[in-house]
Amino acid sequence: MAEVLMEAIGQEALTERLARHVEEGSLAHAMLLTGAPGRGGLALALTLARHLHCASSAASSKPCGTCPSCMQHDQLQHPDLHFTFPVAKPAGKDKALSSDQLDVWRQAVLELGPHFDMQDLRDRMSLGNKQPFISVHEAADILRRLSLTAHAGGWKVQIIWGAHMMRVDTANKLLKLLEEPPKKTLFILLADNTEALLGTIISRTQILTIPPISAGRISERLKAEGGEAEAIQDAVALCEGDLAQARRLIQRDSAEEFTMFIEWMRTCFARDGRKAAGIADQFHDLGRESQKAFLAYSLHLVRQCIVGNYGAASAVRLRSAERAFAEKFAPFIHHGNVHDMQSDLERAAREVAGNVYGRTVFLDLSMRMMELLHRPQ
Ligand SMILES: [Zn+2]
């Protein structure tokens, strides 16, 4: 296994910019880093916190890595470094608090490195079907923590990861704190996007948009982690500058999904109801998470066909085997049916998420596909 990478790979410009803010003492008291977690927002936040806490930070453009404070950071155990992230209410408890899952969190960061995303964290928290969120109790916890004096007399850093999963009441409670923050307190909010955040929260933060990691840097990293050349190439093409996605793509073998998708489309085109029922059984047996993954994969392929169809071949993100199929399949997907196809697939995904019987969802969807594939251009 390659060594766990803690720095924000490919985000050198932002890393330097934040380091300069520390040196100049010009940090905003609340920052909002936006972009998919796999782009490295948490890595940036951790480096920034480490720099602020480092004993020799004043003399250096980066944390020393050897002082007691840096060593506490190595274990994510610095007493003035606080984490909040989405969690679900554990069975038998009446509050959903990150402090209950702090060990899982630390282990995730230390074992996976800071580029993991909600899906990785979910897997580790074994949430089942529960949706994680940032509860209002969490806001009360933050308030309590930050009103205490910093242990080391320096900065208190509160990282809020997955800030877009904050409930409205949580956000409202945090607002006051963002308006009048305790002295020497730094909030670092990390969010996939700003859409789900209250405007009042956004307006009180300095926003930094984290760009996708370059293909070259992702490819380099995957290679260091032992990936194979062809798999790396495919993952890089599909991951959109997101290291968490890239890693998942390289681990996931979508060969089965691909085979099933081809058979399904052929069956729908032939309007073979009996065969469609068989595939619906196969779909049903996948279980909910894999059903969702299959629908997401189908949506991805359909979208890629239409991109190819509109002549933007350079925007097509497909593996080589998929590309060969897409070229033959693309003519059957056009502006006369693609919109309905996408919304039907999305609706099916919502139904699966909402616990509708898999077989029923898939049969309905197949009937629609039979009609849509024959719709005139
Ligand atoms: Zn240090």
- Which of 69, 37, 52 is CA-nearest to residue 189? 37
Provide φ and ψ at 269, rounded to 5°.
-65, -40
What is the CA(55)–ligand 1 centre distance, in A?
5
Q: How confident is the model at residue 360 (pLDDT cuts 50, 70, 90)?
A: very high
Q: How many CB atoms lie within 10 A of CB 370?
A: 17
pTM of the model: 0.73
What is the CA(24)–ligand 1 centre distance, in A?
18
Condensed to tens digits (0 to 9), the pLDDT of residues 20-77 reads 999 888 899 999 999 999 999 999 999 999 999 998 866 678 899 999 999 999 999 9
What is the CA(14)–ligand 1 centre distance, in A?
20
Contacts of 289 (CB under 8 A, 6+ apart): none
What is the CA(98)–ligand 1 centre distance, in A?
27
**Local structure of 314: helix, strand or coil:** helix
Residue 62 or 87, more confident: 87
What whole-number percentage of the chain has pLDDT above 70? 95
- Which of 145, 165, 174, 168 is CA-nearest to residue 87? 165
Q: What is the pLDDT of residue 373?
A: 95
Residue 206 or 293, more confident: 206
**Local structure of 154: helix, strand or coil:** coil
Q: What is the spatial distance between Cα 16 and Cα 269, in angstroms, rounded to a whole number?
A: 55
In this predicted structure, the answer to whether residue 95 has a pLDDT above a threshold of 80 is yes
What is the CA(217)–ligand 1 centre distance, in A?
27
Condensed to tens digits (0 to 9), the pLDDT of residues 277-329 reads 999 999 999 888 788 878 888 888 888 887 766 555 555 566 677 778 888 88
What is the CA(201)–ligand 1 centre distance, in A?
32
What is the CA(54)–ligand 1 centre distance, in A?
4
Q: What is the spatial distance between Cα 148 and Cα 150, in angstroms, rounded to a whole number?
A: 6
Contacts of 313 (CB under 8 A, 6+ apart): 307
Q: What is the pLDDT of residue 13?
A: 96
Taking residues 254-260, what's their average pLDDT?
83
What is the CA(80)–ligand 1 centre distance, in A?
14
What is the CA(5)–ligand 1 centre distance, in A?
18
Residue 4 or 98, more confident: 98
Taking residues 258-278, what's their average pLDDT?
94
Q: What is the spatial distance between Cα 6 and Cα 70, in angstroms, rounded to a whole number?
A: 13
- Which of 231, 234, 174, 232 is CA-nearest to residue 202? 174
Q: How confident is the model at residue 209 (pLDDT cuts 50, 70, 90)?
A: very high
What is the CA(224)–ligand 1 centre distance, in A?
27
- Which of 52, 33, 34, 20 is CA-nearest to residue 185? 52
Mean pLDDT of the chain: 89
Taking residues 4-28, what's their average pLDDT?
93
Strand partners, 207: 32
What is the CA(12)–ligand 1 centre distance, in A?
20
Contact assessment for residue 66 and residue 96, using Cβ atoms and an 8 Å cutoff: no
Q: What is the spatial distance between Cα 122 and Cα 112, in angstroms, rounded to a whole number?
A: 13
Condensed to tens digits (0 to 9), the pLDDT of residues 108-155 reads 999 999 999 998 998 898 787 788 999 999 999 999 999 887 777 789
